[in-house]
Amino acid sequence: MSKFSQKIGGSKRERSAPGEPMVWFSGMWLAIGILMIVFLLSVIVVNGLGVFWPKAVVQVELTEASEAGWKQSQYFAGELHKTQVRRVGSADGEAIPEIQLFVGNRDVYGFGFKFIDEHDVLQRTFPKGILLVERMEYGDLIAFPVKLQLADGKVIEAGDQGFDEELQRAVQRASDRRHEITHLERGEIGRVNQKMERLKMRLKKTELKGGNVKQVAAETKLEQDELQERYEKMAAEAAGLRARQKEETFHYRLVTGEQGSLELGGVVCFYYPNQLSTWTKLGHFFSSIWGFLSEEPREANTEGGVFPALFGTFVMTLIMCILVVPIGVVAAIYLQEYAKQGLVVRLVRIAVNNLAGVPSIVYGVFGLGFFVYMMGGSIDSLFYPERLPTPTFGTGGLLWASLTMALMTVPVVIVSTEEALASVTRGMREASLAAGASKWQTIQHIVLPGGLPGIITGMILAMARGAGEVAPLMLVGVVKLAPTLPLDTIAPYMHLERKFMHLGFHIYDLGFQSPDSEAAKPMVFATTLLLIALVVVLNAAAIIVREKLRKKYSSGAF
């Protein structure tokens, strides 16, 4: 309104004055809303990315009188996490400033974080030589290096020339071996296991059908033996590699005085936190982001990466889209183009609109009851009777989760597709029909291309809802730790019956189910950021496709 009156000119502007407070009022609320969203996003971005930025390690020396020390030691070293004020007793008690350190070395101390009162601190230093080691187990090690014991018996003291390079090489060797072990165990041995499983199932199937078990057993014996032999060979190879992982050790000394050693097989990476330049920090930042994205979780998900969850979310969303778009579009075409517009269609439309508002957990329960138990159960008893009582499809899995999500989001697609189809003008349809096109040809050549951007908008909405939903997924196939990805190199490659991990559930699991919530917090933020980023990326991709189509459509190149 104000825009309008401003255009008209000076004399009218005064007349619109009574409307002005409303403009401010509504504008203010919009601003508040936007601010809240920006605030939320920036909290997530700052905290989520901050996880990957290497922090300096501070060594604090405690006063004689302090009781905060570990055993006899008056020292602590760790990353400074926050400074806050603690109140003694009630909320208005004496204010005591304190710091929180991430001290690491959970295997020794039994805790990862330590609160220390400011007045207990005698002095703070930043020792150059202190080393931070990311380990496969027990989180980070923060200590001074002592020596490196190599496989060939050579010992390199920490102060010696080339110590860091030698350590780096040893860590690299261990990491290579680790990859080899994973490759062996997941890939080769997995394949052999699967083949053996198939043979076993064949036997059981013949047994169920009342066939000649002995004959089949004899037939498969040779193959079985061969597989067993191969399995043992590879298992031995893996065991040998594992043993070598323990040969080289790294010795260290904590600031509290304890000495210890660490097998290099358990080291992920190491760096000197107080010697990093901005560039190396940046390098470390990006490499740990990459690690977060590409690695598997360790230690009850609180360490390592989230690759399985990222992949699971992505694949589930994709399958959901593949299922939901055709169903929704076809349904919308019927409703909008073919059905006689009357009371029934109106009722159906209202029902569809309301379905979009049904709480998602209801879909989860439906998915569990209908898809998992009824359909999955029937599939199992029809096609996989030999595996029972172990369910194959009769338990939550990727397919059922995708189907449940598709069911949940189909109203969104129907509604926006209907709108898109309705937006194609009558003149357009008439021109097509007058040219001798059939109804279906008109839909195909004129209405659907014209409605495509709107259909993709529906898909985007469905995707955003599907990727962010957690509650129903917990019932139909998401787990906190899936041993295998739903996609691998073992035929049939796509394992729709497998359980999978999901970023949304991962966040819930980390934040609320993990034993050490303080240790899990950085991961919660990082995973939240990743989930948001994934949804943004998926949506952006869809939007780009839509704009491309729009351009193509208006330039008529198809």
Partner 1 sequence: MNLTSLLPIAMQKETIKSSAQQDESVGAEVSVSADVAESPAGRPDYIKVCDFSFNYVPAVRVLHNITMEIPERQVTAFIGPSGCGKTTLLRNFNRMNDLIDGVSHEGKIYVNDQDIYDRNLEVISLRKRIGMVFQKSNPFPKSIYENVIYSLRVSGQKKKAILDETVERSLKSAALWEETKDRLHDSALGLSGGQMQRLCIARAIANRPEILLMDEPCSALDPIATAKIEELITELKENFTVVIVTHNMQQATRVSDRAAYFYLGKLVEMDDTTKLFSNPEQKETEDYISGRFG
Among residues 203, 414, 446, 482, the one that binds partner 1 under rule CB under 8 A? 446
The C-alpha atoms of residue 286 and residue 278 are separated, in whole angstroms, by 12
CA 285 → CA 49, 219, 271, 292, 459, distances in Å?
A: 9, 57, 12, 11, 34
Report in angstroms how near the CB of residue 352 gets to partner 1 at its nearest: 22
Length of the chain: 558
Q: Check binding of 556 to partner 1 (CB under 8 A).
A: yes
- Residue number with CB closer to partner 1 (227 or 333): 333
Nearer to partner 1, 89 or 556 (CB): 556
Which are the contacts of 533, defined by CB distance < 8 A and separation ≥ 6?
none
Q: Which of 427, 483, 492, 515 binds partner 1 (CB under 8 A)?
A: 427
Helix (H) or strand (E) holding 60: strand 57-62
Rounded Cα gap, residues 364 and 396, in angstroms: 11
Structure tokens at 72: 């006899």
- Nearest approach in angstroms of CB 549 to partner 1 is 12
**Could you say whether residue 18 binds partner 1 (CB under 8 A)?**
no
For residues 303 and 147, give the distance between their C-alpha atoms in angstroms, rounded to a whole number. Answer: 26
Q: Which is nearer to partner 1, 169 or 550 (CB)?
A: 550
Q: Which is nearer to partner 1, 378 or 438 (CB)?
A: 438
DSSP 118: G
Beta strands in 103-225 (DSSP E): 113-117, 121-125, 131-135, 140-149, 155-157
Between 106 and 429, whose beta carbon lies closer to partner 1? 429
- Closer CB to partner 1, residue 43 or residue 431? 431
Please say which residue, 7 or 426, places its beta carbon nearer to partner 1: 426
Position 540 contacts partner 1 (CB under 8 A): no
Lookup: tokens for 147: 């020596």
| Numbers of helices and strands, H then E, in the chain | 19, 13
> Residues 432, 457, 514, 528: which binds partner 1 (CB under 8 A)?
432
Residue 445 within binding range of partner 1, rule CB under 8 A? yes
**Cβ contact 49:523 at 8 Å:** no
436 lies in the binding site for partner 1 (CB under 8 A): yes
Three-state secondary structure call for residue 490: coil
Question: In DSSP terms, which residues pair with 149 in a beta bridge?
Answer: 155, 249
Alpha-carbon span 493 to 505, nearest angstrom: 24
Q: How far is the CB of 413 from partner 1 (least distance, A)?
A: 23
Contact with partner 1 (CB under 8 A) among 350, 431, 537, 540? 431
Residue 450 contacts partner 1 per CB under 8 A: yes
Structure tokens at 122: 């005698």
Site membership for partner 1, residue 423 (CB under 8 A): no
Considering only CA atoms, give the Rg of the chain: 31
Which of the residues 148 through 207 are near partner 1 (CB under 8 A)? none
With CB under 8 A as the contact rule, the residue among 4, 24, 279, 558 that binds partner 1 is: 558
Alpha helices for 298-397 (secondary structure H): 307-333, 343-355, 360-366, 377-383
Decide: is 280 part of the binding site for partner 1 (CB under 8 A). Answer: no
The SS3 of residue 491 is coil
Does residue number 420 form part of the binding site for partner 1 (CB under 8 A)?
A: no
441 touches partner 1 (CB under 8 A): yes
Which of positions 317-376 make contact with partner 1 (CB under 8 A)?
Answer: 341
Q: Could you tell me which stretch among 18-26, 185-193, 296-304, 548-556 binds partner 1 (CB under 8 A)? A: 548-556
State in angstroms the smallest separation of the CB of 289 from partner 1: 43
Among residues 434, 491, 493, 515, the one that binds partner 1 under rule CB under 8 A = 434
Q: Which residues bind partner 1 (CB under 8 A)?
A: 341, 425-438, 441, 445-446, 449-450, 553-558
